[in-house]
Structure 1
Amino acid sequence: MFEMVKQWFWYDWFMLVVRLMFSVSLLFTTLHFQDQIPLPIWGLIFWQLIAFSAPWLCLLLNYKYYLLAEIILSGGLSLYLTSLFPEAYLSFLTPAFLIAANSAATSYRWSGPMTMLGFPLLIYVVSEQSDPLAVMLHTVLAYAGGFAFHLLVVNHRQSEIIREQNRILEQYLSQIERITLAEERHRLAKDLHDTIGHSYTSIMMSLEQLRPELSATAGEQRLEPLLELTRKGLEEVRTYLHQMESPYERLPLLESLQQLAQEFQAHANVPVRFRVFGEEYPLSQQAKMTCYRCLQESLTNAVRHGQATAITVTLQFEERQLRLEVQDNGNGMAIRQEGFGLTAMKERAMNLQGQVSVYSEPGQGTLIVCTLPRQAERPDEVIRLLIVDDQPFIRESLHALLKAHKDLEVVGLAENGEQAIQLCEELSPQLILMDLDMPTMNGMTAARILKEKWPHMPILILTAFQDPEQALEVLRSGADGYLLKTTDPRVLAENIRLVYRGGTLIDPDISSQLFGQLETEKNDPESAEPPTTNTFDLTARELEILTMLSKGLRYKTIASKLYLSDGTVRNYASSAYLKLGVRNREDAVQKAMDAGLL
């Protein structure tokens, strides 16, 4: 009760003071006329104390209980005093004011007539000397005053709610602004690194070759393409800074990759052989950009770090996946130092349920393989969505953004986890887009319950908090994705389709933090725990390839024995390395033997 009193506003204290003044005044009046009252004075005082305290205590619980207590106790006291003194009907005016001030919703339908009509008639019955019209007029005025005070209180409460919502909105917008700025800086850093690094590597290689030709006519002829390349690089940087699409994004994937390879070959003077297998099919914008950046970074690294003199690019449009291989004849590396560009490539691929694998040995060049699962396009498919968020403006904003996509249909809006569970039973959505921090039932609890009832229904968490630990906990609770609310609407729509078709994803910024934590734990032998056999989840094909690797067979030999391509064998091996948490075949074989897998 004390906690409730601490939350009182000025109007709550005002009504308590009114009640207190009324009770004290009535107490002194009854003491003054106690000789004319047949009821023992202590009984009347006890009645007054009950009439003061009981309605007030009921008001802290429920206003309907208060109305009944006020009418019965205070009204009964006024009727008793009026039967003795006709002028005592005035003692009912304060309860009439309080009854009107504390009524709400449909309670006016019965509290109003009972107060303004019923009590004046009862007063006239118990005291025929009183004027019924005067009693009714005074009671109506007191009730009207209480109703006016109630409207004032309601207006004040609504203003407080609006001010509180505005404060929450300002805090939310401030947080969104900070997160958006951080995400945009990270995105621009990756894009500018990919673009500038690639362009200026080509320029430096060309300038080195141009050095002995500066005095000849051929030097002038080669200078113009370099200037043109620089202008194009500068134009692309300006495009990113103004948040515009790259010109390569408008081209089909095959054409944009071929154009990139041709430009690199022309300016770096390194032959690039481009091979294509299979028939090209439509890809999402994210997939095209991932392949483009992967090829860009691979070409740049092949010349800058590997000193390659020949590069082969293979693009395979397979039935279930897209595969991009970049093979060079450079120096290779014994120990890979994964820099900013390679890390960005892996993040892009993993966000699409794909992977980037790097195979490199000293003197044998480097092979970079990027595989992305194919997302089957179904033109007539419509995904039924349920949006769950406690903020109305976010629910409506998401609804407005997503309904612009023909294959996305928002069938329901919920403000907490309980409503989400109820609407799932009524509407049968195919995917849930849900916030985490909500009243009544939060998103993590709701995700667990929903997955128990509908284990195959995808759940995509959309939150404002960039917390890697929370993201892991959410995925463990059964959610299929964890995205920030700053995600671009087009990317959000593609991610919804990805999750609906069986994918799992984490926001790029959060995934980079998670990878950093996992790398730190892996490099710390004291924090590492020996994994059990069941934790690796290796497939039969991966175990078969690991067994052959343990016998000293090379990838080409394994490929011929299993009737697979060399790249496919490397891809299976890379997947096994990733699951085992190792970097090369020796460590993979040793770890598999220690775990009893071989």
Structure 2
Amino acid sequence: MFNLVKQWFWYDWLVLLIRIILFGSLLVTMTYVSEDIPIALWLIILWGIMAFSVPWFCLQLHFTYYLIAEMVLTGGLCLYLASLFPESYVTFLAPAFMIASNSAQKSYRWSGPITIILIPFLLAELSQQESASTMILDFGLVYTIGFAFQLLVVNHRQSGIIRDQNTVLEQYISQVERMTLLEERNRISKDLHDTLGHSFTSIIMGLETLRSDVNTSEGEQKVSSLLKLTRSNLDEIRRYLHHVGSNGDTLTVIQSLQKLVDEFRTFSKVEIRFRTFGEEYLVPNQAKMTLYRCLQESLTNAVRHGQASEIVINLHYEEKQIRLEVQDNGLGTEDLQAGFGVTAMKERASNLQGQVYIYSKPGEGTVVTCNLPRLVELQEGQIRLLLVDDQPYIRDSLRIILEREQDFEIVGMAEDGARALELCGQNRPHVVLMDLNMSGMDGAEATKRIKQQWPDVRVLILTTFQETERAVEALRYGADGYLLKSTEPQELFETIRLVHRGVKMIAPDITNVLIDNYEVHAISEAPTEKDNEYGLTPRELEILECLSKGLRYKSIAAKLYLSDGTVRNYASTIYAKLGVRNREEAIQKAFGTQE
């Protein structure tokens, strides 16, 4: 109730003042003339107190309840007093004004006739002071004034809402414009990196190969000049990329969100509290932008749709995830419709294998929670990568793309499986990006031998996925992930990090084909372990056990501190290894066989 009173405007206080004056004067008058009232004084005072308070409390629930309570209690009191004191019929003028000012929608159809015709007619019959037509005119005039006052109130409220909406929209547009420019700068920098950078690298490599074909000193000098010019231009592009891309990277997550909160507070005049918990650690730029957009959308919805006056923001740095909570005291809703902004929030989080949860109920406000997994463990240091592909340009392009990430180190590049084995022995990479279709030793055979000699080395198959049988074969030999070359760079980065941490990753579009085409008997081998004949890892067995207990993906993710998308990827890998299509078949095959 106190929060409601804080949101009152001047007209709410005016109506309350009129009500206090009316019933205060009635109580004082009834005390003076108590000897002429046939019922006990305390009863008539109690009636007056109820007529003052009950309709007012009903108004906080719904205007219809107020109208009924006002007409029954206050109108009944005025009729009773008019039967004792005929001149007291004027006491109903103030209630008539308040009934008109609080009527809404179609209630005028019945509140008007009762207030203007029925009650004045009864008052005229009881008081016999004025004719019914005179009273009807008097109360009709007061009711009209109350109706005009109601229009004034509605207009004032609508104007306030429009002003607030415009203020929020101006702030939102300003933020969107700034973030769009930042994203566009990042996109341009990445495009230049992937196109011009790749082209210059290819030119450099091509010129280097011409050195052996140049026999004259003049020709060698020209090649050297071209190489120098090309390298100079490539360095210039890199400096430009650094300048363009660094604009949005200077602020930490806390600084970025705090700046957004300060700007939003200035525009919206809403009370906002921003708190952080846990020790701050480095967050990737895309995760930072996702948190920023999630907070931006949550603040805008809280004010524009929820009409919130207070918002609490909590940012939690946890061991396995970063969690943003935005809670407001707005109106809330039972049936929350996901609009464009909410859908965009969820898509951004999903792209990082995170989730966005929204809880909202009428009168309880709204809580938006954004969970993003901590994909980069700083204590792990740099991830050593080995690139294996028979196409030189593909290897170079991958190197260029991957070297933009500070936690990646390219320790070698191989053109086939045999060379990959040599480099694995020499450089001991953490993750091998393996192509399947290569001359000589292909990717599946190379994966098998790498896993036999160095079980701790992760192998991520990166190919065009033209042959399903080879995909199944590579997974059977121990490949830790399977991804298409057409995947987005950011998805590739995060997949490498997850595979490095021991997560099995298979692209969703590949999973469906694997399940449809996988024939376990055609590729089965003798079990290496009695209790795990399908080659399931400890984590996959843990996921399978949770599935057998009927837990949903979200519950498993919360229990094991994983994201929903990661659990789904684990489940897809389990189904592929077992050669089944769903949870029930997996449970029957895995646990039924062991029994």
Q: TM-score, normalised by structure 2?
A: 0.44
State TM-score, norm by structure 1.
Answer: 0.44
